[in-house]
Amino acid sequence: MRLPKCWAAHRCVLVVVVALGVLWMVSLPWTETEISKPLDWHVNHAHKKQVHEHVRRVLGSRCRPRGTRRSLSDRLPASSHMTQPFLWKDVPFPNDLFLYPPPFGFRGLQGKVEDLLKQLPDSDSVPQAEKTSDKCRRCVVMGNGGILRGLELGSLIDQFDMIIRLNSGPLGEFSVDVGNRTSIRMSYPEGTPLHWMDTDPHTLFVAVVYKGVDISWTSAMVNKLTVPLWDWLFFWQKVPDQLHLESHRFRLLNPLVIRETALDLLQYPPPGSHLWRSDQNVPTIGVSALSLASLLCDEVSLAGFGYNLSQQRAPLHYYDQQSMAAMLKQTSHNVDRETELLQGLVRDGAITDLTGGIHCSFCPR
């Protein structure tokens, strides 16, 4: 059968688009960070001592049951009843789960979500300690900020009840600064470590979905399958082709956590229907992790957060040589709005900033 000319033309356009996409992928840097000349970074001994004393005070103070969540609730609308941090195959989906596309919902992806959840444990099989606890739990969300470099907080970080790490923030040689334990590693495909480094057998991987193909990638990781070649075109940098984790250690983040963070806490406008999204209405994974932590723990602290753009030669991350100046090129997130939110939460006592990059309550005045 002979195809109409218009169909042939459309097919040619599709071929060209795919070819350009392949060339674009090939030209992308296949590492997460740019390596530049070593940064001249020194930690003041007196400041390090103040940080250590501050963290010890936090660990030694009386824990407030559901303290952080209660404080966040004051900033949320009365209609907000989001209490389900993860999705389960044996728990009914929230009514508005499919209202928006990722990362605010799963519109058009219900079948894929249901298929993925069938491969994950149900809520009844999850250890009781992961659900509730008689003990008041303290949680620390570990940012990847260069402010951690040289502080040697590792042994104190490991004393928190739950430690949430973001994306590919490594341990190993950096454990003296960031600790050895990981309760949760929260990431999306492009942010996930290419080589898994968390050795704790109880570490959970919380998959964050920013686009439909992220569900397919998570499913491939759970089932130890190869990521389809077509899907690779939709990743903006290299992603792991395998995670050495058992299926019961995977969790799927409820996208309503991100929606609550964006629309209610940060008060961003609802997501629009853009072909190429340029709105800065998607929160960073760090602020989303704060919302998640408020559902899992009683008190939440942050470490390694904050961007001091006045120090452009300061390290952006604790693990590489990228400088703070790189943040000046960042256009995906509204860093100023997030900083204002976090500063307010620290000042109100809703959360604690352990390293002082957001609001330094322990610094000399």
Domain membership of residue 64 (yes or no) is no
Domain membership of residue 60 (yes or no) is no
Count of other CB atoms within 10 angstroms of residue 340:
13
Domain membership of residue 123 (yes or no) is yes
Residue 239 belongs to domain with CATH number: 3.90.1480.20
Q: How many domains does the chain have?
A: 1
Starting at the edge strand that comes first in sequence, how are the strands of the sheet with 184-187 ordered?
A: 250-252, 204-207, 184-187, 162-166, 138-142, 299-303, 351-353
Domain membership of residue 46 (yes or no) is no
Q: What is the pLDDT along the chain (365 residues), one digit of tens a residue?
A: 444 444 344 444 344 344 444 434 433 333 333 444 656 677 889 999 999 999 999 999 999 999 999 999 989 887 677 789 999 999 999 989 999 999 999 999 999 999 999 999 998 877 655 666 678 999 999 999 889 999 999 999 999 999 999 999 999 999 999 999 999 999 999 999 999 989 889 999 999 999 999 999 999 999 999 888 878 889 989 999 999 899 999 999 999 999 999 999 999 998 876 544 556 689 999 999 999 999 999 999 999 998 765 566 678 788 987 876 666 566 667 888 999 999 999 999 999 999 999 999 888 87
What is the pTM for the complete model shown?
0.87
Domain housing 226: 72-270+279-353
DSSP characters over 19-52: HHHHHHHHHS-SSSS---SPP-----HHHHHHHH
Report DSSP state, residue 317.
B
Domain membership of residue 292 (yes or no) is yes
Contact assessment for residue 87 and residue 115, using Cβ atoms and an 8 Å cutoff: no
Predicted confidence at residue 139, as pLDDT, reads 97
Q: Is 329 exposed, middle or buried (0-12, 13-18, 19+ CB in 10 A)?
A: exposed
Which of 324, 249, 220, 272 is CA-nearest to residue 104? 272
Domain membership of residue 250 (yes or no) is yes
Predicted confidence at residue 314, as pLDDT, reads 75
